[in-house]
Chain A
Amino acid sequence: MNVPARDRSAATASGATRVEGSIALVLRAGTLLSVGLLAIGVALLSLAGRSPLDATWPPLDLGRIPGDLLALRPEGFLWLGLLATLSTPLLRVAASVVGFLGAGERRMAGLGTAVLVVIALAVVVAQRTAA
């Protein structure tokens, strides 16, 4: 069945509006979660009386984060907050891919996937080149 161009563009516009609404939600939730976790980490750091400049810089160890969170150690909250910060834009792209696929816009979903591939490449290259 042939869909008139005007109907097609109206459908595309409403699809984009839906996608925009859902990714705005992802961004807002991700920001609040990230800042909340970082703020808890900062408060715990302050309560412990540790100076960020004097303290030893704890390495990122994903396996230690749950234990640090349960023990209310600031490192756990700060690392989790940083990971949430870095993940928020990526979740936004993932939400866009899902949204555009749902709206039948495969090209836009493909672009979003390409962004995620570049990010995945960044993870692999950074791990391989890390000292």
Chain B
Amino acid sequence: MTVLLLLAGGGFGAGVFGSLLGLGGGILIVPLLTFGFGLPFREAVGVSLVCVIVTSSAAASVYLERHLANLRLGMLLEVFTASGALVGGLVAFLLPDRVLAGLFAMLLTYTGATMLRSGAAAARPGAGPIESGDDPAGPADAPGSFRAALAGPGYRPARLGAGIGGSVFAGLVSALLGVGGGIVKVPLMNLVMGVPLKVATATSNLMIGVTAAASAIVYLLRGGIDPLIAGPTAVGVFAGAMVGSRVAQRIDLRLLRLLFVAVLALTAIQMTLRALG
């Protein structure tokens, strides 16, 4: 009973923080399960993927109803994120836990650095979300063309080749480390493809479900998902994400962000130590 409550409570905390800080819960769930409950790294990743699908599906329905996500662009890119996730799901069973822990430590460090940078940028006067600039998509597309179909109000996605390559990488990262991959996809769409930040965030969220499902299927069929652990954790994450999305407007996120970066740094150190044996 106590373990059940702790799993659900840990999932709840991951859901609240993930929702407040705009991260999937995966970056918190994997350390929670490995360090808190002693699960092998790969099992923690399997459970995390399930949680990521739950939160993504819930959030994506809201984004679609508000017409924030670019469904067509998402459907193009998720062919490649799903392909990367399929490969990543298979590779994950070939790599030792220590290698995966080392990769996760790198992801934590990168995420922490990104959060610090974005926090500093938001604090600068006049700073705001990065929007598409001098139309990197080049000359206008012919009406009815495929590229024209991917356009949204006021923007046209550029550099589709880079977007496709980056999407394969995002799928690999998601499958190996049990995260949604938004940390790769959002900057890819925003900075490289010139998609407005809000649309990139919503579209990335939409894609996460399919991406994580492609690798979660591999984990499930190869016995890598424990339903007794996944159940309470996923229910907790879902409840936490619901609460987080409702209180986000009322909380000063600057202090929370700094606290979270400190937690990420400590976790990265622990993961590095685990990787080094």
Within 8 A of B (CB), among A44-99: 45-46, 49-55, 57-60, 74-75, 78-79, 81-82, 85-86, 88-90, 92-93, 96
Q: How far is B26's CA from A83's CA once the two chains are assembled, in angstroms?
A: 19
Contact, CB under 8 Å: A17 / B67 = yes
Using a CB–CB distance below 8 Å, which chain B residues touch chain A?
1-4, 7-8, 37, 50, 53-54, 56-58, 60-62, 64-65, 67, 69, 71-72, 75-76, 78-79, 82-83, 85-86, 89-90, 93, 143-144, 146, 148-149, 209-210, 212-218, 220-223, 225-232, 234-235, 238
Q: Using a Cβ–Cβ cut-off of 8 Å, how many residues does chain A contribute to the interface with B?
A: 67
Contact, CB under 8 Å: B7 / A88 = no
Contact, CB under 8 Å: B79 / A27 = no
Q: How far is B226's CA from A93's CA once the two chains are assembled, in angstroms?
A: 26
Q: How far is B144's CA from A62's CA once the two chains are assembled, in angstroms?
A: 45
For A85, list chain B residues within 8 Å (CB): 50, 53-54, 57, 234
Contact of B79 among A50, A59, A114 (CB under 8 A): A114
For B214, list chain A residues within 8 Å (CB): 118-119, 122
A130 at interface by CB-CB < 8 Å: yes
| Max chain A Cβ within 10 angstroms of own Cβ: one of B37, B62, B234 | B234
Contact of B231 among A5, A27, A42 (CB under 8 A): A42
Query: Which A residue's beta carbon lies closest to that of B55?
Result: A31
Q: Once A and B bind, how many residue pairs between them come within 8 Å at the CB atom?
A: 200
Query: Which A residue's beta carbon lies closest to that of B60?
Result: A27
Contact of A90 among B85, B213, B229 (CB under 8 A): B213
Contact, CB under 8 Å: A16 / B218 = no
Contact, CB under 8 Å: A78 / B217 = no
Within 8 A of B (CB), among A13-29: 16-17, 19-21, 23-25, 27-28
For A12, list chain B residues within 8 Å (CB): 149
For B83, list chain A residues within 8 Å (CB): 118
Contact, CB under 8 Å: A126 / B71 = no
Contact, CB under 8 Å: B54 / A34 = yes
For B215, list chain A residues within 8 Å (CB): 122
For B71, list chain A residues within 8 Å (CB): 16, 19-20, 23, 96
Once A86-B53, A108-B72 are accepted as A-B contacts, the answer to whether A31 and B61 lie under 8 Å apart by CB is yes
Contact, CB under 8 Å: A24 / B64 = yes
Contact, CB under 8 Å: B223 / A130 = yes
For A123, list chain B residues within 8 Å (CB): 217, 221
Contact, CB under 8 Å: B220 / A60 = yes
For A54, list chain B residues within 8 Å (CB): 3
Contact, CB under 8 Å: A82 / B64 = no
Contact, CB under 8 Å: A107 / B37 = no
Q: How far is B212's CA from A88's CA once the two chains are assembled, in angstroms?
A: 11
Contact, CB under 8 Å: A89 / B238 = no
Q: How far is B89's CA from A123's CA once the two chains are assembled, in angstroms?
A: 11
A1 at interface by CB-CB < 8 Å: no
| Max chain B Cβ within 10 angstroms of own Cβ: one of A21, A49, A114 | A114
Contact, CB under 8 Å: B225 / A82 = yes
3 nearest CB pairs, A to B:
A89-B209, A5-B143, A52-B228
Contact of A75 among B218, B227, B235 (CB under 8 A): B227
For A8, list chain B residues within 8 Å (CB): 143-144
Contact, CB under 8 Å: B218 / A125 = yes
Contact, CB under 8 Å: B228 / A39 = no
For A31, list chain B residues within 8 Å (CB): 54, 57-58, 61, 238
